[in-house]
Amino acid sequence: MVASQQKLELLKVRKLKNLIDLEIDFTGSPVTAILGPNGNGKSTVLHILASAYKPIDSGENHKFSNFFLPNTDALWDDSYLEIIHSYRDGPTVHNNVKTIYEKTRRWMPVYARRPERDLFYIGIEKCVPMIEMEKKQTKINYATSEVSENVFVTILQKASQILNRRYLKYNVHTASGKDFMGVEVDGLRYSALSMSAGEQKVFHILKTLFNAPKNALILIDELDLLLHDKAMMSLINVIYERATEKSLQVVFTTHRESVIALSDIVNIRHLLSTSNKTLCFNETTPDAINRLTGNQPKPIEVFVEDNLSAAIVTKVASKLGGKRLVSIQRFGAASNSFTAVSGLLFSNQDISSTLFVLDGDVYSTDDEKIQRLNKVITGTDDLAENYKAQAMEVIKQYQLPNNIKPEPYLHNIISNLGFTDNEEHQEIIDAANEIVVADESHKYINDIIDRLGLDRGVGLAKVIDLVATTPEWLEYTADVQAWLSAQIQPLLEPRGAAA
């Protein structure tokens, strides 16, 4: 029976090349973008995945030795990793299957026993223009034939959309026994020998994407290389549409942080290596990554989930007279707070003046926080236990009622305020009362701002200014207030001190 409906769910790497104790999740969208600074293991993840499967039909057959060739400095012994995946074998569905890969004298399992899945790997060599690989110094004569299959009509349409050029024909040229592609644009015919590297790469990706069989895994290294931002974003949208249509999974690496704008259709995974562990941030903004690779910009730093939380911390710090002393970084999904704090600890940085603020709707109990820390700070030795204790000291949260998210809670506070003499505040209250039910929790605040016609940053500040006048404010922000006050007060110059 041939396997089908394959899905890659999780990759765990205990050790391989520069990856240490990495766990990266591929569930959610069928498309995953892996970001991170150079040398942090993005390409290594693709090389692992490319070697993890054996082909069923038309897929490529890569081996670990293709990417991890033993050499004088590295035999890759003691490498160990796992993939968690699912598939259907006839009527039987196999979920959460673990396959272990390791190397002592040779890689195991043997290639014939790898899981089955058609796979295609597109490396950065596909960016090299064909003319740079051509060795002939004389005229190249080739025969041309047009390809008219429906799939190539689609490829031409998608390429036109991505590259903003009107591609009319797709050709195959033959010279000296070799075939290579060519196109026609508004009456101009040219081959891959005359194509730009970015153009050639887009067509190669599209050919792979639209010819891949159902359930295939496609890996693309440095998707953004040689593409301008608009073309890259358009290409990702095409990839997502095709992956959804054909039950494909696509994993690509990129340096372009603008891809975060597509987080509603793409899994965003940031990798960052420390000497002890490779960290993976899910759906994060660049703020946390930049902080972990740079210096603390101000004496007090606070990591928050989103812009709403940033506005709340700004207000608390301002009321304490220490706004100028506090830098605020955004870490995105709540789980990233545990990854970020462990990253600072693994980098031997002092976290005593660093705060991680959770919204309070998840990981709200100490047991839940410890369970999450156990995933990123592994081991039970004294150092690991010390790290976990330090982390618990600097992870705080807002006080929310059970089973409610921050935005509906704040909206409810505002809606119940009634009448006020402050015209600006009254306008916010009136806008809140116009919103009875929102189809998504963030809209309870975003819709207030939209109704007022304000810039988002300005609107958040005004909304929080109003909430800060209510009796609920002090209880809601109590943990954050207490921590910030203890940090700020010693740094404030006593009133009347000499300049």
CB hemisphere CA count around 457 (13 angstroms): 1
* Residue 497: band (very low, low, confident or very high) from pLDDT cuts 50, 70, 90: very low
Contact 277, 21 (CB under 8 A): yes
Q: Average pLDDT of the chain?
A: 90
Helix/strand/coil for 432: helix
DSSP letter assigned to residue 251: E
Judge whether 480 and 313 are in contact, CB under 8 Å. Answer: yes
Task: Report CA dihedral (394, 395, 399, 405) to the nearest 10 degrees.
Answer: 150
What 8-state DSSP symbol labels residue 301? E
Residue 265 contacts residue 237 (beta carbons within 8 Å): yes
pLDDT for residue 314: 97
Handedness of CA 320, 326, 331, 336 (dihedral sign): negative
User: How far apart are the C-alpha atoms of 256 and 24, rounded to whole Å?
Assistant: 19
Dist CA 308 CA 467 (whole Å): 12
Task: Please give the pLDDT value at position 358.
Answer: 97
How many whole angstroms separate alpha carbon 351 and alpha carbon 201? 44
SS3 433: helix
pTM of the model: 0.81
Record the tokens describing residue 287, joined without a space: 């703020």
Q: Beta strands of 104-166 (E only): which ranges?
A: 107-108, 119-122, 143-147
Whether the Cβ atoms of residue 184 and residue 168 lie closer than 8 Å to each other: yes
For residue 408, cis peptide bond before it (omega within 30 degrees of 0): no
Query: What single-letter DSSP state applies at residue 489?
Result: G
CA 357 vs. chain centroid, Å, equals 21
The pLDDT of residue 140: 66
Contact 429, 452 (CB under 8 A): no
266, 33 contact by CB (below 8 A): yes
Spatial CA neighbour of 235 closest among 122, 140, 318, 91: 122
**pLDDT score recorded for residue 496:** 46
DSSP β-bridge partners for residue 10: 25, 84
Instruction: For residue range 79-110, list pLDDT tens digits in order.
Output: 999 999 999 998 999 999 999 999 988 899 99
pLDDT, position 494: 61
CB 254 within 8 A of CB 233: no
Q: Is the pLDDT of residue 73 over 90?
A: no
Average confidence (pLDDT) over 302-326: 96
Average confidence (pLDDT) over 163-185: 86
Question: Average pLDDT, stretch 411-437?
Answer: 94
Across residues 437-466, what is the average pLDDT?
94
- Tokens 């060739």 locate to 69
- Strands (DSSP E) contained in 130-222 are 143-147, 167-175, 178-185, 188-191, 217-220
CB 343 within 8 A of CB 292: yes
143 strand-pairing partners: 174
Write the pLDDT tens digit of every residue in 110-166. Answer: 988 999 999 999 998 766 655 444 555 556 666 777 777 889 999 999 999 999 999
Six-digit token string for 98:
């673990």
- Domain topology for 3-126+208-269: Rossmann fold (3.40.50)
Q: Which residues does residue 272 pair with via DSSP β-bridges, in sequence order? A: 279
| Alpha helices for 320-417 (secondary structure H) | 336-346, 366-376, 382-394, 406-415
The SS3 call for residue 8 is: strand
SS (H, E, C) 425-478: HHHHHHHHHCCCCCCCCCHHHHHHHHHHCCCHHHHHHHHHHHHCCCCHHHHHCH
How many Å apart are CA 357 and CA 353, to the nearest integer? Answer: 13
pLDDT for position 453: 94
493 three-class SS: coil
pLDDT at 499 over 50: no
**Structure tokens of 409?**
């809670």
Distance between CA atoms of 271 and 39, rounded to whole angstroms? 10
Query: Packing angle between helix 406-415 and helix 443-452, nearest 10 degrees?
Result: 50
What does the pLDDT look like over 367-399, one tens digit per residue? 999 999 999 998 888 999 999 999 999 999 999
Query: Cα–Cα distance between 463 and 291 in angstroms, integer?
Result: 28
In the chain, the percentage of residues whose pLDDT exceeds 70 is 95
Q: Would you call 88 exposed, middle or buried from its count of C-beta atoms within 10 A (0-12, 13-18, 19+)?
A: middle
Q: Domain map of the chain by residue range?
A: 3-126+208-269, 130-195, 284-398, 406-476
Q: How many residues does the chain have?
A: 499
What is the residue type of 376?
Answer: V
- Confidence tier at 456 by pLDDT (50, 70, 90): very high
Name the helix (H) or strand (E) containing 82. strand 79-89
